[in-house]
Amino acid sequence: MSAIVSLTIATGVGETLHEGELAINYQNDDAVTDPASSPISIPAAPALAYSYEKYAKLKFDGTFTAITNVKIWKSQGVLPDGVNIKGDAVEEAAYVQPVTTASSIALNDVPENDTDAVSLQPAAGITVTGSYSKYLVSQAVISGGATAQTLATQTYRWRYDET
């Protein structure tokens, strides 16, 4: 038995799904395009600027009986001074059009270890191929006066148990 896992990003008013994505791009656009085409402007201190929220979930295909204990954390990458990534989980049904203002969902720092990882295990469980995890709703927050630069790669690690 072996699950096949892929990253899905949702955008837009009606939850347009972009399956098989390779990255979560934080930008000033509700899209999955190259973030260089929609950079986030750095505000004057003490103001804050926000990327659009990113709704990311895992899709489970293949052959399995059940997927449990789905978790995510940021395992590598140093954020520059004045940049933070916030993120929390919500059930699929809680999807709303992403905003470019302070998120009412992504309130906590994305954990940097598996002990504190965000649980993406949906209440309904994952027992059928084509099922999804909860969404990780995340957002980049930029402090006024941060240095202009391209954000270095941040590595997220996803973990789950499969039977």
Q: Domains in the chain, ordered, with CATH? A: 2-162 (2.60.40)
3-class DSSP state of 133: coil
pLDDT digits (tens, 9 = 90+) for 64-77: 999 999 999 999 88
Residue 150: which pLDDT band, with cuts at 50, 70 and 90? confident
Q: What is the mean pLDDT of the chain?
A: 94
Whether pTM exceeds 0.85: yes
Strand partners, 61: 4
Give the pair of three-digit tokens for residue 158.
């996803």
Q: If you count them, how many residues does the chain have?
A: 163
Strand partners, 58: 7
Quote the pLDDT of residue 5. Answer: 97
Quote the pLDDT of residue 33. Answer: 87
Quote the pLDDT of residue 72. Answer: 96
